[in-house]
Structure 1
Amino acid sequence: METRNNAIIELRGGTIGSVNDQSSAEESFQNKTLRPILKFQNDLFIEVFTNYAVKQKGVFFTLSPEKKMAYIENTIQRDIKLRNSLKGMVIGLFTTDEYVEYIKNSSNLNKRMMNMLIERFKSQVLLFEVAS
C-alpha cells in the first residue's frame, strides 16, 4: 500500500498554494491534495467535458463565450452522473490517508472540488472543441 501512496504523490506533484498553521483542514486538503490532482488530470477533464458536450447534441459549441460559462456551471452543478464521474477521477488519485481525511468532511470537500473544476473549465473554455 505504501508503494501506491508514494507513487501517487510522486506522480501528481506537490502542494499548490500555501499551507501554514493558520490554514483550515479543508484549505490544507485543497492545496495539498485537490489542486495537484486537478492540475494533473486537466487534459483528461477537458476530454471528458468535450465528450459530454458532444453527446448533448453539441449545443455547447454553438454558444457565446458567456453562455458557455453558464453552461459549464449549470452542467456540473446539475448533472449528477457527470459530477460523480469527475469526482471519481479525483478520488482515484487519493492516497489511503487522504481518503480517510476526505470522508470525514466529504460534503464540503466535494463543493470545493466542483467549484475548482468549474473555475478551471471556465478559464480554459477556448480548449473545448468538437472532437473530430
Structure 2
Amino acid sequence: MEPRDTHVLELRGEALGTITSQSSMEETFQNQTLRPILKMQNDLFVQVFINYAVKQKNVFFSLTPEKKMAYIENVIQRDIKFRNALKGMIIALFTLDEYAEYIQNSSNLNKRMMNMLIERLKSQVLLIVE
C-alpha cells in the first residue's frame, strides 16, 4: 500500500455502520469510506456552508428552520460549482483503490455522498449561525 493511502486510512479511522456479506458494493463503500470521511470533515463542511451562505447575501440566516432545511438541500442539489467543491473535499480523502472503485460507479456513489452530506448538514442546522 502506498504511504499516502496508509496515512489517509489512519486519519479517517474505522468503518461506520454495519458491513455484512450481503452488503452491496455501494453500501460497503458508503460505510467503509464515505461515512468516516464525512464524520472527519464535518466541521469543515459546516464552515464551508456558512461561508457559502454569507456570500449569498446571508439569506439563509433569516429563514425559518424548515426553510433552512430546504435551502441546504436545494443549494447542494442545484449549485454545481458548490457541489463539486464539496465532492472534492470527500474524494481527496480516498485511497487509490477507493478511487478506482469510485470511478466504476461514480454516479450512484455521488448521489449517496451528497444525500449523506445534506442529511448531515440538516441535522446540524441549529449550529449553523452567522
State the TM-score, normalized to the length of structure 2: 0.99
| Pairwise CA distance, 1:113 | 0.2
Aligned to 1:75: 75
Mapped partners of 1:121, 1:41: distance in 2: 12
Aligned to 1:101: 101
Aligned to 1:127: 127
* 2:44 maps to amino acid: L
What does 1:23-102 correspond to in 2, within 5 Å?
23-102=23-102
Structure 1 unaligned runs (5+)? none
Mapped partners of 2:127, 2:85: distance in 1: 20
SS in 1 for 2:94: coil
Mapped partners of 1:60, 1:67: distance in 2: 8
Mapped partners of 2:127, 2:84: distance in 1: 22
SS in 2 for 1:90: helix
* 1:113 maps to amino acid: M
Aligned length: 130
Runs of 4+ in 1 over 6 A off after TM superposition: none
Structure 2 unaligned runs (5+)? none
Aligned to 1:12: 12
Mapped partners of 2:95, 2:14: distance in 1: 13
| Pairwise CA distance, 1:41 | 0.3
Mapped partners of 2:126, 2:95: distance in 1: 32
| Pairwise CA distance, 1:38 | 0.2
SS in 2 for 1:66: helix
Mapped partners of 2:69, 2:99: distance in 1: 31
Q: In angstroms, what is the RMSD of aligned CA positions? A: 0.7
Query: Residues 52-89 of structure 1, C-alpha deviation per residue, up to 9 Å, x if partnerless?
Result: 00000000000000000000000000000110000000
SS in 2 for 1:57: coil
* 1:45 maps to amino acid: F
